Amino acid sequence: GVFRAQDYLGAQGHFGIGSDSNVLLDPAEELRQLEYSQRITHHARNILVTAADHSTGRTLFDAALRGGMRALGVTAVGFTAGAPADIVSLDGAHAALAARQHDAMLDSWIFAAGRTAIDCVWRRGNKLVSGGRHVQRAGIAARYAKTLQGLLA
């Protein structure tokens, strides 16, 4: 039969998102693709929402968070002294996020702004992205161009 993500999630199924061999790194895009594939397959909108007080973005985000935590063996979300701090912040001045709060912020990030709204990223407490740009972007781009030139020569 046809895959129904709603049935899968309702049966306590898990999924996670993340990069594999794809060069496009955009968690919002991966969540958006899941929702759109279900929308097209079932000719209906918002079919993944499992709770009346949750939006589609909240449902997708929470499910991906739970699945990712399970895959990584993480048991709790939150801040604990001594634990690694992996944090992503969104740019509150981004046009797609203007005047958004709570679930509407997640919906706007996933379905409108995508990766362009990511402001900062911290990995294990180290700030790697600031103002939407990797802190070592110039060096990474230069090494990439040099490597590509060597491969294509």
What does the pLDDT profile of the chain (153 residues) look like in tens digits?
A: 677 777 777 788 888 888 666 677 789 999 999 899 888 888 888 777 777 778 999 989 999 998 988 888 888 777 778 777 889 999 999 999 999 999 999 999 999 999 999 999 999 889 999 999 999 999 999 999 999 999 998
Read off the pTM. Answer: 0.80
Region of residue 18 (left: phi > 0; alpha: psi -120 to 50; beta: else): left
Q: In what order do the strands lie in the sheet with 126-130?
A: 87-90, 118-123, 126-130, 133-134
